[in-house]
Amino acid sequence: MLPSSYLVRCQLRHLPRTISQANAARSRFVSTAKNLQKKPDALQANTKKESVAAPSSATASSSSTETKTLKSPTIEVGEDGLPHVPERPKSWLTHKVETSPTVRYWFMKITALLGYHSPKQRAGLRTFLLYERVCAVTPDAERSFWQNECDLPPTFQSWFIVTNLHFWMLTVRLRALPEPHGKFYVQFLLDHFFLDIEDRIRAILQPAIPPRDPYTFFTSFYVNPNIPKDGKLKRGSRAPERLVTRQMKIFKEQWMGMGMWFDYGLVTNDMELASAIWRNLLGARGSQGIAYPDSNPPKFRRGVNLVGGEVENPEKIDLEKEQGRDDGSGVHDYPPDEIDKYVGYPELMLDIVTYTRREIARLEKISDEEIMEGDLGALQFGKIRPHVKGSS
């Protein structure tokens, strides 16, 4: 039997998104009311057009049925090179709030009593959008760079380290917000980050057919090796909770370690920052020496990736054994026939260091008001190699 706290969390996990949509609906309602007073004739004409284009009751019911079968949004990169998260099908609560003034009135009253209009709760709603639309979209926005240039495998571990880099860059700016906003924003952004991580870990270790709605969106940056090819789950395939907890602890330690070394590199020099990038993002390739063709035997090392990797005996991990066995799931050293790739490493680290400092400087110039209430499009991260034509 599941604990009550888990059930409550499952019910409330999408509440920030619903309240955000309700606030947007209220803003549209207020602006429409103001325009109605100014331009009644134009609005009446628009209303007539909408009534002509409105579907019949039978069509509306069929479209609502189709909406229920739609999958959650999948991140996409548009022709402009920017990531776009399609709008989700609206829940029944969002639909009620948008269409019924009475429901909207009482919904906003209840949320106000619960504190959802306080600075702390507004920070929670804003940081969900900051995480979803600014941080979590970055791996897909530069997928070609991370997977082709940096040779990161299509695993959840790769998705995590790329997202964590941009999470850290954004928290550097959020820490400069005036108190108590800075504390609220950093904490809530971290909460959304790890709620999304836990949701994705469960989707990998405990796959469902069809997939469950994610905390944010689906992504093709990594693949789930645990989904059977025939689309049929075997009985008893559910992973134990202790394995999920173990993975959460591992990613927490990685988040803490990466944040500490990135902070150190930021306040010292580019060499330290490049070192942190090499260890954390590029898998520390070559740290144990380069395996030349004439070496006997050539040493091979890979990064151990438990989530999605075929690790033998996960409860008793022999790291030395795992690092010497390639299962295609982690970042590994280049074999002897690919050692020429090490030549491009200095330029690769320079590009990432330049990108990191450039984006932090850009975020520093954005005002506190824009960070907390401005357009999210202006906050999105730029390209890693803007001088390269067609880079994405």
Rounded Cα–Cα distance for residues 133 and 146 (Å): 19
Q: Is 346 helix (H, G, I), strand (E, B) or coil?
A: helix
Binned at pLDDT 50, 70 and 90, residue 331 comes out as confident
Rounded Cα–Cα distance for residues 115 and 113 (Å): 5
- Do 177 and 374 contact (CB within 8 A), yes or no? no
Q: What pLDDT shows up at residue 29?
A: 42
- Please indicate whether residue 278 or residue 108 has the higher confidence score (pLDDT): 278
- Do 147 and 154 contact (CB within 8 A), yes or no? yes
pTM of the shown model: 0.72
Q: Is 237 helix (H, G, I), strand (E, B) or coil?
A: coil
Q: What pLDDT shows up at residue 302?
A: 61
Highest mean pLDDT among 96-105, 279-288, 359-368: 359-368
Question: Tell me: the pLDDT tens digits for 97-142?
Answer: 778 888 877 877 787 777 666 778 788 889 999 999 999 999 999 9
Q: What is 76-122 written as a DSSP string? A: EE-TTS-EE-PPPPPPHHHHHHHH-HHHHHHHHHHHHHTTTTSHHHH
Name the CA radius of gyration of the chain, rounded. 24
Rounded Cα–Cα distance for residues 323 and 325 (Å): 6
Compute the half-sphere exposure of residue 372: CA atoms within 13 Å on the CB side of its CA: 21
Question: Tell me: the pLDDT tens digits for 175-231?
Answer: 999 988 889 999 999 999 999 999 999 988 888 777 788 899 999 999 888 877 776
Q: What pLDDT shows up at residue 256?
A: 93
Binned at pLDDT 50, 70 and 90, residue 94 comes out as confident
